[in-house]
Amino acid sequence: MSLKRNTETEVEEGVKVAKIESSTEETAKNFFLQFKTRLDISQDERSQVINISRDVTAASKKIIFALHRVKKNGQEPLSLAPDVQATLTSQYKLIAAKFAEINSLVGNSTNAYWKYSRQVSGASEEMIEAMSFQFWLERGQIMTMEELHEIIKQHNIDVYVHPRDYISGLFDLTGELMRYGTLNKAHGLPIVALLREFEYSVFVLTGDPNLVKKIEVFQQSLAKLERLLYDQSLQVSEVV
């Protein structure tokens, strides 16, 4: 009788252990399924942000390309051809819509930046490059961050701009200015003077690892533009 009771007890204990193990296994499965679902959602969201950011970059490049067709005439107000103005208007609207898409995915522009800064920063820098290039064409000056915020507001663009992205965008701008100065040599010397002033103002940033490469490219390109203008002046003096 005692043996039978012990056997029954062991069976009951075994059933309890089996149920506990089954329950634990089910809990673990549910946990990992939830984790997998979150990862899938996050990955899908990240992929969408990457694609949308590429659209912003492409739109900004179209603006820059259109602006290179504009002829800057000294201190005269900038005159934009109808097709150039149409390009700027449509692409800025597209940029605003694309950043709105990102914000709707993530919650708001600040969350979008800090969650996907690597993806969003590149698009922001390209947009800043386009805006600052237009600003220079209009005023002959480097755009300040306060002026950038005002321009962003004018275009109804909701985007968080980190100071580092602003500086990076300006370094990208210098490439466009040097390209413009090469093709429009009458503006070469003023551009060189402006870029030298810019170089002095950002000299303190030379130790920033995120900007080292941009600074190096900037200095090399500026030296090339100066050499080009110098060679041109020699040719003119020889002719005279």
Mean pLDDT to the nearest integer, 207-218: 78
Provide long-range contacts, Cβ within 8 A and 24+ apart, for 147-153: none
Which residues touch 132 (CB under 8 Å, ≥6 apart)?
142, 143, 148, 169, 170, 173
Of 41-45, 48-52, 107-111, the one with minimum mean pLDDT is: 41-45
Residue 222: per-residue pLDDT: 86
Mean pLDDT to the nearest integer, 149-167: 93
Residue 13: per-residue pLDDT: 55
Phi and psi at residue 157, to the nearest 5°: -100, 125
- Which residue do the tokens 């002095």 mark? 200
Mean of per-residue pLDDT scores for the chain: 81
Mean pLDDT to the nearest integer, 184-202: 85
Its sign, for the CA torsion 179, 183, 185, 187, is negative
Q: Is the pLDDT of residue 209 over 60?
A: yes
* The most confident of 16-20, 29-33, 80-84, 204-208, by mean pLDDT: 80-84
Which residues touch 158 (CB under 8 Å, ≥6 apart)?
96, 99, 100, 103, 108, 109
Per domain, the residue ranges of the chain are 51-239
pLDDT confidence bin for 217, thresholds 50/70/90: confident
DSSP string, 129-147: HHHHHHHHHHHSSPPPHHH
Residue 11: per-residue pLDDT: 47
* The most confident of 17-21, 39-43, 74-78, 141-145, by mean pLDDT: 141-145
- 12 or 66, which is more confident? 66
Q: Is the pLDDT of residue 17 over 60?
A: no
Residue 74: per-residue pLDDT: 64
Q: Is the pLDDT of residue 149 over 70?
A: yes
Threshold 0.85, pTM exceeds:
no
Mean pLDDT to the nearest integer, 35-58: 79
Which residues touch 116 (CB under 8 Å, ≥6 apart)?
46, 49, 102, 106
Architecture of domain 51-239: Up-down Bundle (1.20)
